[in-house]
Structure 1
Amino acid sequence: MGIFDRKKDTPTAPVATEDLGLLGSQATKFVERVLEIGIDGKGTFDSAQKVADDARRRRSDPERVVDDIVGAHLRLAAGNGFVTGLGGFVTMPVALPANVVGFYVVATRMAAAIAAVRGYDIQQPAVRSAILLSLIGADSDDLLKKVGYQSTGKLANLAADRLPGAVVMAINKGVGFRIITRMGRTTLTKLGRLVPVAGGAIGAGLDSYLLKKIADGVREQFPFKATLTSLPSEN
């Protein structure tokens, strides 16, 4: 999947990507919460940077560090306990099942932790947008075209770019919109009814499969940016 290579000239295409009504509002709230919890952490849910730093203390080989991060998040998804672990943090005024919101929070933290290990500043708006784009796979190409960019490179190219705030907002809202509409407009009309998309072993297995696909994409799209100095080992 080739994603994002900005042309030198600033694009003039409109940055509005999706409907500005209820779905647009929900999309914005969704991505704000996913970024807030998934990257910055909240309560007992560690930030992506802490996850990355802790993993680097345990391993000297950067690839093994990434393996550990992915493995830990796959176990979290397979155990189907991430919603319980997040508690009320996943509650938001967006009509999505709590387990769906929880999944994307976990996926965002995993992607951000991998990016941090590989040398990207996950506090930068463009990097955070690239992390969000990794959640929607091939849909990223279409979304980026809608905001006026050609998708001819890797997501890592986005990290070096200083995007206008309006473009960052359009990308983020577009990602949220894609995720929400994947769940179906019928679900969105049932405000207050948080119905699981799948339950039990089937749900946990599907979560793990989807998370692994996201992890594989992040590994490809965020190559090592620079040689990093390992943190001191605790062992």
Structure 2
Amino acid sequence: MGVWNLIRRDEPTVDSTREALREARRGDRGDANVVTRAVERFRDIGLDGKFTFASAGRIASRARSRHRRPEQAIARVVAQHQRGVAAGGFITGLGGFLTLPVALPLNVAEFYLQATRMVGAIAKLRGYDLDDDRVRTAVMLTLAGDESRDILQQAGLGAFSGHVSDALVGKLPAGTLMMINKGIGFRMLRQAGERSLAGFGKAVPALGGVVGAVIDVRQLRRIAAAARREFPEVIHVQ
């Protein structure tokens, strides 16, 4: 699996995830820079790829080469990443509660790298430019789920209805982007910590692998549904 090769060779990803989890538990008292850096690593590696971990664009191209209809290609992308997070959740959950301190950062990093790439590939297949900073930010907001609109409102973009990408108009100030990434990071990592603690804490060794796989697949499905809503097909006018 490309993601496991990446994690083994890219220690800063796991280290930044571990630190971000600590800060996320502290809430507003935590170091926002640590959490922001973790979000940026998930974004850049998930969308652009690294080592043997293919980029979102490449995943989208592979799916498109096998399916003429975009929705069929998207279904393939989602299924591929469901298998990936199921394997990751199983592996990191095998030790149950006893291995939690080591397994949790690995599980969070593995899950969100795959989730970021999946959402990016869906956006690409719907016609979005993954080099556009607004699209990249919208991808990360999608991972925050229903709280994405609260994050934008707290960043000073006001209340709005519609797709999150609609609120990201024009070039956003650096301070606004930092506030958005901070909000994304705290919500993503707190949710990940709560999900993993619930799964690992209730499970015994070995059975924890099954629990971890089920929990990760369930959350990824919710993210996939959100990505389908937030990135409607781009209609190009001839």
Structure 2 counterpart of 1:53: 61
Query: Is 2:118 the partner of 1:110?
Result: yes
Deviations 1:171-194 (A, max 9, x none): 112101222333569x9xxxxxxx
Q: Structure 2: how far apart are the matches of 1:123 and 1:160?
A: 15
- Deviation of 1:144 after TM superposition, in Å, equals 1.2
Query: Is 2:215 the partner of 1:206?
Result: yes
Q: Structure 2: how far apart are the matches of 1:82 and 1:225?
A: 37
- Deviation of 1:153 after TM superposition, in Å, equals 1.5
Give the % identical residues: 41
CA contact (8 A) 2:56 2:121 kept: yes
Q: Structure 1: how far apart are the matches of 2:59 and 2:90?
A: 15
- Deviation of 1:154 after TM superposition, in Å, equals 0.6
| Unaligned ranges ≥5, structure 1 | 1-17, 85-94, 188-194, 229-235
Q: 2:179 aligns with which of 167, 170, 181?
A: 170
Deviations 1:38-97 (A, max 9, x none): 11111000000110111111110111011111111011112227989xxxxxxxxxx962
Query: Is 2:227 the partner of 1:180?
Result: no
TM-score by length of 1: 0.73
Q: Structure 2: how far apart are the matches of 1:196 and 1:98?
A: 13
Distance 1:37 1:157, change over 3 A: same
Structure 2 counterpart of 1:71: 79
User: What secondary structure does 2:143 align onto?
Assistant: coil
TM-score by length of 2: 0.72
Query: Is 2:19 the partner of 1:39?
Result: no
| Unaligned ranges ≥5, structure 2 | 1-26, 93-102
Distance 1:109 1:165, change over 3 A: same
Distance 1:51 1:70, change over 3 A: same
Residue identity matched to 2:53: F
More helix by share: 2
Residue identity matched to 1:162: K
75-84 vs 201-210, which moves further: 75-84
Residue identity matched to 2:67: R
Equivalent residue pairs, number: 192
* Bigger relative contact order, structure 1 or 2 (CA pairs below 8 A, ≥6 apart): 1
